[in-house]
């Protein structure tokens, strides 16, 4: 047993860890044998499909520490809900079922092809495939698509979901939503035409090059009017996908079974391999990790990454490590520098903060290169058109992320604060990695005389604290530690809420630095109006450069998550379109009878 | 004129004087007798020695850390495996440079943080005890001596406070306390709030004992004598009664300090204690919860610090009680 003795020395530091380690190794060995799978290797599913297979059957088992915000296609906003929604909803167009960045490509789903765009980018026309059906066997019609989208307008009932389509399709009609619609067929929204049962035409007031990105969100799913239960729809959505709900009790049970009315021939996207899909709920994330490592479940529904305890176990054991992937999640972790709080109104003081920061320490605070991510260089992560992670104007990755004390001091001189200054770091109290980042930031700024105090505010109140510019000013939050993930992978989805001056809100604001630069705002208008993705990418790249040059943001990392992939899983790959999560809809299980 | 500083019944029992060398036949004050008793209690003395050591450590923390450690806020990334977040070296990174190892993730020197943590723990515990003793003695003695509606009122207030869910109250209070208050800011505010609140909720325990003792003492002859000679209320309360209450108050104070240390640690554990980066033992324990499987030393070391401190105070406090009150049951 030479392997055992090496592990022994590694774990010599801790009897507890040792016992846990040996216990887990034994368990995972056993499950590997019964499942018949072999570990494909660390990060194998990030670039390619692991265990490609078309074998059907078996039960796919998810673990979940956190339940869905809502399973209602128009209300869900959690990333894992969007990924999961493809089991029971279909959209006109959706993301390609390919690994990595190839998943960002839009492909037709209910529609026969991508849109015919006419009228200078204002009209989008789709034709529906024949053969798509609801779980009662009735066909999915153009009216169902329109009705589903209309539900978003009923913001008093259909709460919590994205409102991209509403922003782009209301066209000043102030449509009240289908529940208050005086029209007998409840299809009173003027901007969507359904000339026949299988044609949908969208009329935009202004062109938006990302319109199809918005339609690909679950927000664009059809809902059958006779089956709409309003606010309760999320408890039992009516399926037009390959699976339907057998049972759902929030935070207790969720079982999907095959929808026998689903017509494979009508669906180019979904392989529908497992017979049954189950979610194992639990409140203790460490327990759920143990279930994954023991083979009692296949993957984490939330896809937030293994907890510290399991991470250490996995990374110390090459055999366990081979069953994990380390995708980038599309999130960027950053510190917002708030010019409204003195002396950060002076660009040199902002630059001093950026240069004085120990980027390696902040990366370690986030979880290191594997669980935290690569040190961020600018505000556009890889995958977004126009991104260039090599653009590193402050040399954040040079010298292994070490601070540049000399330049920080010279910037302080130019700012007129040679001895440093003091400010407040605001951080959510419920995100331990963000608190650790704040502590590391505080320690590194102290080296140049910038003294800070950390204010840990109630994370559940984020939109009402850092989301309110007045509160930020009053509390003197000069530095705000935060993270941001886009709804879709374009400069509009990613950067606009953070840096467009017209997105500064009195409440629920995301532009914490309150950047309001007419040049930036104008470039957004141009980029959104064009349907030429390359041109838009160039403009977004330009905006990114402006934001970085003015030192409004200190990027920490391009987020990564170390996620567990059971050896039973087939067709496993991580999809950038779903924030680096496994593409749930493609997964199958091996050893199925 | 003055009453005997202690109850007449508490004069030295014969067995104590019998053990002592014959030359020391002169009268001994009760304090000296108590000291002689305490001196023979080896366990209490050991506890007392640890308490003194801890106080010295807290007072001279900057000196100790500059000699044996690193600044408590300094990060030592080189001591941490960036991917695991745990110390590179075994046993939590304990080495000659880092006597107690390093904190996971940011590599801060645990020795320095434990030493500085002692400051927070002891300062909060001592000052909270002082607040509790001052309030408890004042209200207890007044309630016991005057009786009647004053006693009824004070006793009901004490009952109310004893039944109050103080932990929940403090957690709620801390979340609304502003960043600067009473001339303090940051961690200073939190410490001031902790001292005031822990002290405030602690006084009824002292108050009850003082009230009970006062009830017994106020009918004593020396009090009667003072009263008949026309002594004022203030004189009787603070010159006649108070000196005779010193013994129970001292005992209770030494036993209250470890309780306060635990309360402070519990509050810090729950995030209602001092603010980071000010080190505190409870906060370290709280941070260790998520990593204890990977790095158990990070939990063991602050845990041991709390354990040793509380044990030392308890042993010492028990010894003081035995020494001052030989009739008390062990």
**What is the pLDDT tens value at each position of chain A, 593 positions in all?**
333 333 333 333 333 333 333 333 333 333 333 334 456 789 899 889 999 999 999 999 999 998 999 999 999 999 999 999 999 999 999 999 999 999 999 999 999 999 999 998 999 999 999 999 999 999 999 999 999 999 999 988 998 888 899 989 998 889 999 999 999 999 999 999 999 999 999 999 999 999 999 999 999 999 999 999 999 999 999 999 999 999 999 999 999 999 999 999 999 999 999 999 999 998 888 899 999 999 999 999 999 899 888 998 899 899 999 999 999 998 999 999 999 998 999 999 999 999 999 999 999 999 899 999 999 999 998 888 898 989 999 999 988 889 999 999 999 999 999 999 999 999 998 888 899 999 999 999 999 999 998 888 888 888 889 999 999 999 999 999 999 988 898 999 889 989 999 888 888 889 999 999 999 999 999 999 988 889 999 999 999 999 999 999 999 999 999 999 999 999 999 999 999 999 999 999 987 54
Q: H-helix or E-strand containing A212?
A: helix A211-215
Q: Which residues of A touch B73 (CB under 8 A)?
A: 442-443, 446
The reply to whether residue B85 touches residue A368, judged by beta carbons under 8 angstroms, is yes
Decide if B180 touches A, using CB distance below 8 A.
no
Decide if A130 touches B, using CB distance below 8 A.
no
Q: Which A positions 251-280 lie with beta carbon below 8 A of chain B?
A: none
Q: Which A positions 556-585 lie with beta carbon below 8 A of chain B?
A: none
Nearest to A536 by CA among A503, A485, A483, A488: A488
Q: With beta carbons less than 8 A apart as the criterion, state whether A53 and A570 touch.
A: yes
Give the closest of B80, B85, B185 to A308, CB-based. B85
The reply to whether residue A443 touches residue B82, judged by beta carbons under 8 angstroms, is no
Cα B305 to Cα A461, A489, A545, B282, distances in angstroms: 35, 51, 51, 10
Q: Is A275 left (phi over 0), alpha (psi -120 to 50) or beta?
A: alpha
Give the closest of A12, A443, A458 to B90, CB-based. A12
What distance in Å separates residue A335's CA from the closest CA in chain B?
18
Q: Decide which of 3.40.50.2000, 3.40.50.150, 3.10.105.10, 3.20.20.80 is the CATH code for A328-560.
A: 3.10.105.10
Q: Strand order in A199-203's β-sheet?
A: A116-118, A123-127, A199-203, A192-196
What distance in Å separates residue A370's CA from the closest CA in chain B?
6
pTM of the model: 0.79
CATH number listed for the domain at residues A66-235:
3.40.190.10
A276-281 vs A59-64, strand pairing mode: parallel
pLDDT at position A19: 38
The reply to whether residue A308 touches residue B277, judged by beta carbons under 8 angstroms, is no
The reply to whether residue A368 touches residue B83, judged by beta carbons under 8 angstroms, is yes
Q: Which of B70, B73, B76, B77 to mutate to test the interface with A (most CBs of A within 10 A)?
A: B77
The reply to whether residue A364 touches residue B86, judged by beta carbons under 8 angstroms, is no
The reply to whether residue B106 touches residue A361, judged by beta carbons under 8 angstroms, is yes
Cα B97 to Cα A211, A347, B109, distances in angstroms: 59, 40, 9
Give the closest of B86, B186, B296 to A453, CB-based. B186
pLDDT at position B32: 81
Decide if A20 touches B, using CB distance below 8 A.
yes
Q: Which residues of A touch B70 (CB under 8 A)?
A: none
The reply to whether residue B290 touches residue A442, judged by beta carbons under 8 angstroms, is no
Q: Which residues of B touch A363 (CB under 8 A)?
A: 82
Grouping H, G, I as helix, E, B as strand and the rest as coil, residue A50 is strand
Nearest to A262 by CA among A276, A244, A241: A241
Task: Report residues of chain B scoring pLDDT below 50.
Answer: 1-14, 328-330
Q: Which B positions 77-96 lie with beta carbon below 8 A of chain A?
A: 77, 80-86, 89-92
A553-560 vs A373-375, strand pairing mode: antiparallel
The reply to whether residue A16 touches residue B75, judged by beta carbons under 8 angstroms, is no
CA pair distance A338, A423, nearest whole angstrom: 10
CA pair distance A334, B51, nearest whole angstrom: 46
Give the closest of B77, B89, B179 to A364, CB-based. B77
pLDDT at position B22: 54
Q: Which of B105, B181, B278 to mutate to test the interface with A (most CBs of A within 10 A)?
A: B105
Q: Which A positions 162-181 lie with beta carbon below 8 A of chain B?
A: none
CA pair distance A293, A24, nearest whole angstrom: 7
CA pair distance B105, A443, nearest whole angstrom: 13
pLDDT at position B247: 85
Give the closest of A13, A313, A360 to B90, CB-based. A13
Give the closest of A12, A364, A424 to B105, CB-based. A364
| Angle, vertex CA A436, rays to CA A430 and CA A441, nearest 5 | 125
CA pair distance A70, B240, nearest whole angstrom: 72
pLDDT at position B3: 45
The reply to whether residue A369 touches residue B83, judged by beta carbons under 8 angstroms, is yes
The reply to whether residue B271 touches residue A371, judged by beta carbons under 8 angstroms, is no
Q: Which residues of A touch B84 (CB under 8 A)?
A: 311-312, 315-316, 368
Give the closest of B86, B186, B276 to A312, CB-based. B86
pLDDT at position A278: 95
Exposure string for A176-185, b = 16+ CB within 10 A, e = fewer: bbbbebeeee
Q: Which residues of B touch A429 (CB under 8 A)?
A: 271
Give the closest of A20, A424, A436 to B293, CB-based. A20
Decide if A445 touches B, using CB distance below 8 A.
no
The reply to whether residue A309 touches residue B73, judged by beta carbons under 8 angstroms, is no
Decide if A360 touches B, using CB distance below 8 A.
yes
What distance in Å separates residue B8's CA from the closest CA in chain A?
58
Q: Which residues of A touch B293 (CB under 8 A)?
A: 16-17, 20, 286, 309, 312-313
Give the closest of A365, A369, A456 to B106, CB-based. A365
Give the closest of B85, B92, B296 to A16, CB-based. B296
Q: Which of A364, A367, A449 to mutate to test the interface with B (most CBs of B within 10 A)?
A: A364
CATH 3.40.190.10 location in chain A: 66-235
CATH 3.10.105.10 location in chain A: 328-560
The reply to whether residue A458 touches residue B291, judged by beta carbons under 8 angstroms, is no
What distance in Å separates residue A131's CA from the closest CA in chain B?
50
Nearest to B9 by CA among B211, B208, B217: B217
The reply to whether residue B75 touches residue A308, judged by beta carbons under 8 angstroms, is no
Nearest to B48 by CA among B323, B313, B326, B318: B313
Cα A219 to Cα A67, A157, A194, A212, A490, distances in angstroms: 19, 14, 18, 12, 18
Beta carbon pairs, A and B, within 8 Å: 103
């Amino acid at each position: 047993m030479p392997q055992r003795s090496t592990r022994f020395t590694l774990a010599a530091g801790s009897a507890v860890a040792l016992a846990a380690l040996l216990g887990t190794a034994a368990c995972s060995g056993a499950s590997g044998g019964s499942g018949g799978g072999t570990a494909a290797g660390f990060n194998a599913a990030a670039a390619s499909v692991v265990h490609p297979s078309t074998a059907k059957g078996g039960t796919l088992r998810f673990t979940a520490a956190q339940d869905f915000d809502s399973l209602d296609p128009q209300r869900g906003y959690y990333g894992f809900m969007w990924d999961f929604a493809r089991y029971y909803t279909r959209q006109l167009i959706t993301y390609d079922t390919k690994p990595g960045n190839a998943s960002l490509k839009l492909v037709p789903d209910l529609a026969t092809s991508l849109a015919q765009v006419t009228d200078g980018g204002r009209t989008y026309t789709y034709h529906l495939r024949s053969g798509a059906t609801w779980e009662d066997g009735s066909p999915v019609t153009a009216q169902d698509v329109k009705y589903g989208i209309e539900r978003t307008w009923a913001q008093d009932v259909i709460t919590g979901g994205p409102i991209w389509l509403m922003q782009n399709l209301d066209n000043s009609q102030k449509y009240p939503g289908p529940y208050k619609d005086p029209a007998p067929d409840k299809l009173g929204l003027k901007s969507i035409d359904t000339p026949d049962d299988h044609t949908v035409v969208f009329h935009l007031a202004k062109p938006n090059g990302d319109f199809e990105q918005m339609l690909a969100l679950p927000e664009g799913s059809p809902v059958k009017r006779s089956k709409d239960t309003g606010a309760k729809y999320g408890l039992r959505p009516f399926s037009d996908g390959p699976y339907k709900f057998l049972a759902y009790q929030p935070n207790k049970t969720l079982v999907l079974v095959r929808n026998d009315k689903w017509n494979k021939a009508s669906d180019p996207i979904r392989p529908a391999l497992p017979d049954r899909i189950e979610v194992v709920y639990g409140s203790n994330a460490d327990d759920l990790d143990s279930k994954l490592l023991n083979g009692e479940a296949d993957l984490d529904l939330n896809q937030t990454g293994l907890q510290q305890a399991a991470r250490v176990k996995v990374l110390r054991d090459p055999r366990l490590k081979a069953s994990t992937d380390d995708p980038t999640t599309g999130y960027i972790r950053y510190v917002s520098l708030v010019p409204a709080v003195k002396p950060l109104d002076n660009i040199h003081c902002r630059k001093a903060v950026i240069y004085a920061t120990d980027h390696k320490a902040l990366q370690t605070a986030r979880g290191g290169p594997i669980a935290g991510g690569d040190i961020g260089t600018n505000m556009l992560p890889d995958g977004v058109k126009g991104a260039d992670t090599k653009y590193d104007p402050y040399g954040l990755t040079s010298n292994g992320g070490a601070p540049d004390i000399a330049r920080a001091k010279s910037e302080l001189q130019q700012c007129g604060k040679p001895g440093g200054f003091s400010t407040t770091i605001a951080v959510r109290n419920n995100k331990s990695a963000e608190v650790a980042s704040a502590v590391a930031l505080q320690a590194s700024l102290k080296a140049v005389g910038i003294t800070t105090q950390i204010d840990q505010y109630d994370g559940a109140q984020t939109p009402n604290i850092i989301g309110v510019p007045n509160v930020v000013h009053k509390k003197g939050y000069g530095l705000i530690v935060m993270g941001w993930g886009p709804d879709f992978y374009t400069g509009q989805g990613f950067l606009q809420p953070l840096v467009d001056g017209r997105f500064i809100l009195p409440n629920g604001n995301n532009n914490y630095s309150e950047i309001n630069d007419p040049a930036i705002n104008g470039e957004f208008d141009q980029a959104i109006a064009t349907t030429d993705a390359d041109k838009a990418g160039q403009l977004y790249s330009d905006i990114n450069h402006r934001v970085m040059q003015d030192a409004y943001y200190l990027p920490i990392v391009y987020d990564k998550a170390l996620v567990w992939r059971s050896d039973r899983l087939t067709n496993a790959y991580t999809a950038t379109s779903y924030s680096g999560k496994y593409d749930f809809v493609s997964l199958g299980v091996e050893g199925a009878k | 004129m003055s009453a005997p500083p202690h109850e007449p019944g508490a004069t030295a029992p014969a067995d104590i004087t019998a053990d002592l060398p014959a030359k020391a036949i002169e009268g001994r004050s009760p304090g000296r007798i108590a000291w002689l008793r305490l001196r023979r209690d080896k366990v209490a003395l050991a506890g007392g020695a640890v308490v003194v050591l801890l106080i010295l450590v807290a007072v001279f923390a900057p000196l100790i850390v500059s000699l044996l450690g690193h600044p408590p806020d300094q990060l030592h990334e080189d001591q941490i495996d960036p991917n695991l977040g745990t110390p590179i070296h075994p046993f939590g990174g304990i080495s000659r440079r880092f006597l107690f190892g390093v904190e996971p993730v940011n590599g801060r020197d645990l020795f320095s943080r434990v030493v500085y943590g002692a400051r927070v723990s002891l300062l909060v515990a001592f000052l909270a005890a002082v607040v509790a003793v001052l309030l408890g003695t004042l209200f207890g003695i007044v309630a016991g001596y005057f009786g009647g509606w004053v006693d009824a009122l004070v006793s009901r207030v004490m009952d109310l406070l004893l039944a109050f869910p103080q932990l929940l109250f403090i957690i709620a209070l801390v979340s609304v306390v502003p960043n600067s208050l009473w001339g303090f800011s940051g961690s200073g505010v939190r410490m001031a709030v902790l001292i005031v609140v822990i002290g405030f909720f602690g006084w009824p325990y002292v108050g009850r004992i003082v009230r009970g003792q006062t009830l017994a003492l106020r009918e004593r002859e020396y009090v009667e004598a003072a009263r008949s000679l026309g002594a004022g209320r203030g004189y009787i309360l603070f010159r006649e009664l108070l000196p005779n209450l010193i013994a129970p108050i001292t005992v209770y104070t030494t036993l209250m300090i470890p309780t306060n240390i635990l309360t402070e640690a519990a509050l810090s554990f729950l995030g209602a204690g001092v603010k980071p980066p000010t080190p505190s033992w409870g906060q370290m324990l709280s941070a260790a919860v998520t990593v204890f499987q990977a790095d158990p030393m990070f939990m063991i070391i602050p845990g041991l610090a709390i354990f040793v401190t509380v044990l030392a105070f308890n042993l010492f406090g028990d010894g003081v009680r035995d020494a001052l009150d030989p009739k008390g049951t062990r």
